[in-house]
């Protein structure tokens, strides 16, 4: 594998990734608006093939949401999700000011909670359409190092 990461992705590529994991495609204009409104976007390619993406929605202050962690099935659980999360966390940590903290939320499907707990997220209150999870980043502590394993 020759995995590279870039900070751009097309709306068509997002829909390709969505359909690869059984999600419905979304209107391309709406996808592009979502990408434009994201604070950070990361896409993974194997050679020239799009294989994953994630994006961060952030208010610029204390609340952030990681939305869309998508990796096509044959590349899942090979470290690509972790690398994308690490890049998102690095971006957020680069924006932290003294005594600042950011709560990062993610909605994991019920079968994903164990995975996200293993990398430092904590389960909030279970919901019908996924389990909200969060991790807190501050500039006073280091993120759990299991993310780089």
**pLDDT tens track for 33-89:** 999 999 999 999 999 999 999 999 998 887 788 888 899 999 998 989 889 988 998
Assign 143 a pLDDT band (cuts: 50, 70, 90): very low
Structural domains in the chain plus CATH codes: 3-148 (3.40.630.30)
Q: How sure is the predictor about 147, in pLDDT bands with cuts at 50, 70 and 90?
A: very low
Q: What is the 3-state secondary structure (H, E, C) of the chain?
A: CCEEEECCCCHHHHHHHHHHCCCCCCCHHHHHHHHHCCCEEEEEEECCEEEEEEEEEECCCCEEEEEEEEECHHHCCCCHHHHHHHHHHHHHHHHCCCCCEEEEEEEECHHHHHHHHHCCCEECCCECCEEEEEEEEECCCCCCHHHHC
Q: What is the pLDDT of residue 132?
A: 53
Check whether 11 has a pLDDT greater than 60.
Answer: yes
pLDDT at 63: 78
Query: 2-11, 30-39, 59-68, 135-144: lowest mean pLDDT where?
Result: 135-144
């Amino acid at each position: 594998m020759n995995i590279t990461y870039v900070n751009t992705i097309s709306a068509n590529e997002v829909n390709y990734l969505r359909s690869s994991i059984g999600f419905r495609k979304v209107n391309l204009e709406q996808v592009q608006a979502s990408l434009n409104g994201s604070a950070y976007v990361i896409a993974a390619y194997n050679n020239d093939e799009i294989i994953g993406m994630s994006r961060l929605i952030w208010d610029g202050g204390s609340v952030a949401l990681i939305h869309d962690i998508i990796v096509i099935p044959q590349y899942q659980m090979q470290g690509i999700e972790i690398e994308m999360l690490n890049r998102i966390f690095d971006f957020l940590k680069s924006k932290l000011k003294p005594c600042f903290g950011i709560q990062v939320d993610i909605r994991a499907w019920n079968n994903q909670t164990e995975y996200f707990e293993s990398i430092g997220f904590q389960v909030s209150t279970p919901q019908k359409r996924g389990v909200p999870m969060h991790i807190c980043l501050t500039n006073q502590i280091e993120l759990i190092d299991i993310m780089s394993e």
